[in-house]
């Protein structure tokens, strides 16, 4: 059984903390994979200090060379793709094909960001003043913290760490303690790529301890967080009070709208995939089906047919199992009609939960409003397009959405009106590509978007330069 070590200033160092957490296989909790020591606050400060000390050297590395480091990381991850996917499946619970998909997405992210390093460009502009050259440039913001969740423990660290390194920042990486092995492997990938000591530091720690230190430490200039709303909003408030840049990607309650003119087989495929893929444990999962009453019965039957055949992994841990179970019991009390699932499969050894569908869900009830983060689909019936848009928007979250229809006019009206940062047409709610911005509206996200060119912008500052080449004193200058 492995005891996972911190990675500080280029060295693997065991924490001195007496507080530990077990790394369990969610498919078989008797399989103890390893043990995590929850670092002391002093050890977290050491990680920040190491990143701060390494920053001048890393920012001085040319942008093309920083890109080459990321490309070598891509190649290292590609070589170890199967190994990383196997570890991800064992400690997080994804099916192996889902884990392989996540690792491939991470490879794609590194490929994009390796090129983005050389696209960190400024612009020139004419000056009001004669013989003056004006231009802008982007410079790294400094030490940044990447605080990541357990549900995508390879991809999310990559999409935070890679743009930070491309911009010339150094990083303190605080992963979820439920997935320590994949965090270690991610760091090893960057280590193999030749990243200099201190440019990337890994520290395992309790969330409260890490949050407090990262907010208070003066060397930390920015924090990128993915996780719960309660934690994210506290980080955002506390970080703002210290003048730090903070971005948070938090909850979602994503709706698929299916109109009466939709291809119902296509919609059913996408809904089942979005609701039950990755056991519903993704922020972009399909949580609500908003369906026109004219096709509701037929569509629900098609989704049920697919759901009973779907293969799912377990929920990540006992706490998540309890959360999903509580949401199901609450929906029953509210009067929603249980059509499928609602319990653990008979004889389940791990933290499994059957695909679950509720019909006749009130759009204002808890099941339609609160994030479950499990394989539970809430069906809300509507009688018109306008009502469908209203229901889709009547939640505090705004990450992703989808519409199934054959009417271009209504599709475009939906795309314009829906209050989500991402929307899909005739395809599932989940998914995002490395070159496009990722993030949400309302209480889903605060701060700038992740991925794409927006990612590097978060980790960099703009500097405007005025170069007077007259060699003479200005007689007057109103600026």
The per-residue pLDDT for range 412-425, each reduced to its tens digit, is: 999 999 999 999 99
Confidence at 478, pLDDT banded by 50, 70, 90: low
385, pLDDT greater than 80: yes
Q: For residue 412, give both structure tokens.
A: 């475009």
Instruction: Give the chain's length.
Output: 479
Whether the per-residue pLDDT at 477 is higher than 70: the answer is no
Average pLDDT over residues 237-245: 96
Q: Give pLDDT, residue 274.
A: 97
CB 133 within 8 A of CB 467: yes
> How far is residue 77's CA from residue 96's CA, in Å, rounded to a whole number?
16
Please check the confidence at residue 317 and state whether its pLDDT lies above 80: yes
Report the catalytic residues: 249, 283
Radius of gyration of the chain (CA): 24
Return the bridge partners of 249, or none: 226, 445
375 by Cβ neighbours in 10 Å (0-12 / 13-18 / 19+) ranks as buried
* 3-class SS of residue 434: coil
Q: Please, is 41 exposed, middle or buried when counting C-beta atoms within 10 Å of its C-beta (0-12, 13-18, 19+)?
A: middle
Model confidence over 121-155: pLDDT tens digits?
A: 999 999 998 899 999 999 999 999 999 999 999 99
What distance, in Å, lies between the first and last C-alpha atoms of the chain?
A: 66
Alpha-carbon distance values, 176 to 25, 153, 291 (Å):
15, 8, 36
- Structural domain boundaries of the chain? 2-250+444-464, 254-425
Count CA within 13 A, CB hemisphere, residue 54. Answer: 26
> Has residue 475 got a pLDDT over 90?
no
Give pLDDT tens digits for 67-98: 999 999 999 999 999 999 999 999 999 999 99
pLDDT of residue 253: 97
Residue in the block written with tokens 């500052």:
461
> Whose CA is closest to 98, among 287, 358, 363, 276?
276
Q: What are the strands, taking DSSP E only, across 239-362?
A: 245-249, 254-258, 286-292, 337-340, 356-359
- Mean pLDDT across the chain, nearest whole number? 96
Residue 309 token pair: 């055949």
Distance CA(254)–CA(380), nearest Å, equals 13
pLDDT band at 431 (very low <50, low <70, confident <90, very high): confident
The count of other CB atoms within 10 Å of the CB of residue 427 is 17
Dist. CA 172–CA 157, nearest whole Å: 11
If you average pLDDT over residues 334-361, what whole number do you get? Answer: 96
Whole-number pLDDT of residue 474: 79
**Range in 25-39, 54-68, 114-128, 464-478 with the lowest mean pLDDT:** 464-478
184 and 190 Cβ atoms separated by less than 8 Å: no
Which CATH class for the 254-425 domain? Answer: alpha beta
Topology of domain 2-250+444-464, CATH: Aldehyde Dehydrogenase; Chain A, domain 1 (3.40.605)
């Amino acid at each position: 059984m492995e005891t996972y070590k911190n990675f500080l200033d280029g060295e693997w160092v065991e924490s001195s903390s007496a507080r530990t957490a077990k790394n369990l296989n969610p498919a078989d909790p008797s399989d103890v994979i390893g043990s995590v020591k929850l670092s002391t606050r002093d050890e977290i400060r050491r990680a920040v200090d190491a990143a701060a000390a390494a920053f001048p050297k890393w920012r001085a590395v040319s942008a093309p060379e920083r890109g080459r480091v990321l490309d070598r990381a891509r190649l290292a991850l590609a070589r170890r793709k199967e190994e990383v996917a196997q570890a991800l499946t064992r400690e997080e619970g994804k099916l192996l094909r889902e884990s392989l998909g996540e690792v491939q997405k991470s490879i794609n992210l590194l490929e994009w960001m390796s090129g983005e390093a050389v696209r960190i460009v400024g612009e020139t502009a004419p000056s009001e003043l004669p013989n003056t050259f004006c231009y802008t440039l982007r410079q790294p913001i400094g030490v940044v913290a990447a605080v990541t969740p357990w549900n995508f423990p390879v991809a999310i660290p990559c999409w935070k760490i890679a743009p930070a390194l491309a911009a010339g920042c150094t990083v303190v990486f605080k992963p979820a303690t439920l997935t320590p092995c994949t965090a270690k492997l991610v760091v090893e990938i960057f280590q193999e790529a030749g990243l200099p000591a201190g440019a990337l530091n890994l520290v395992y720690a309790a969330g409260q301890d890490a949050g407090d230190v990262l907010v208070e430490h003066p060397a930390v200039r920015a924090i990128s967080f993915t996780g719960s709303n309660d934690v994210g909003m506290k980080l955002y408030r506390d970080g703002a009070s210290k003048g730090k840049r903070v971005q948070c990607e938090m909850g979602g309650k994503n709706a698929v709208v299916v109109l009466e003119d939709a291809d119902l087989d296509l919609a059913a495929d996408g809904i089942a995939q979005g609701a039950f893929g990755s056991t519903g444990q993704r922020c972009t999962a399909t949580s609500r089906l908003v369906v026109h009453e004219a096709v509701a019965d037929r569509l629900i039957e098609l989704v049920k047919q697919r759901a009973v055949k779907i293969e799912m992994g377990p929920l990540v841990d006992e706490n998540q199992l309890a959360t999903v179970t509580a949401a199901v019991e609450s929906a029953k009390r509210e009067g929603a009609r249980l059509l499928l699932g609602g319990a653990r499969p008979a004889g389940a050894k791990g933290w499994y939960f059957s695909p679950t569908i509720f019909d006749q869900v009130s759009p204002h009830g808890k099941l339609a409003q609160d994030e479950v983060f499990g394989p539970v689909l809430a069906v809300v019936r509507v009688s018109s397009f306008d009502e469908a848009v209203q229901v889709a928007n009547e939640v505090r979250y705004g990450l992703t959405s989808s519409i199934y229809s054959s009417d271009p006019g209504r599709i475009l009206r939906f795309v314009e009106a829906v209050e989500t940062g991402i929307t899909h047409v005739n395809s599932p709610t989940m998914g995002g590509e490395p070159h496009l911005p990722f993030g949400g509206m309302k209480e889903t996200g605060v701060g700038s978007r992740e991925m794409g060119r927006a990612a590097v912008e978060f980790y960099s500052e703009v500097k405007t330069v005025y170069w007077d080449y007259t060699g003479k004193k200005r007689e007057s200058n109103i600026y």
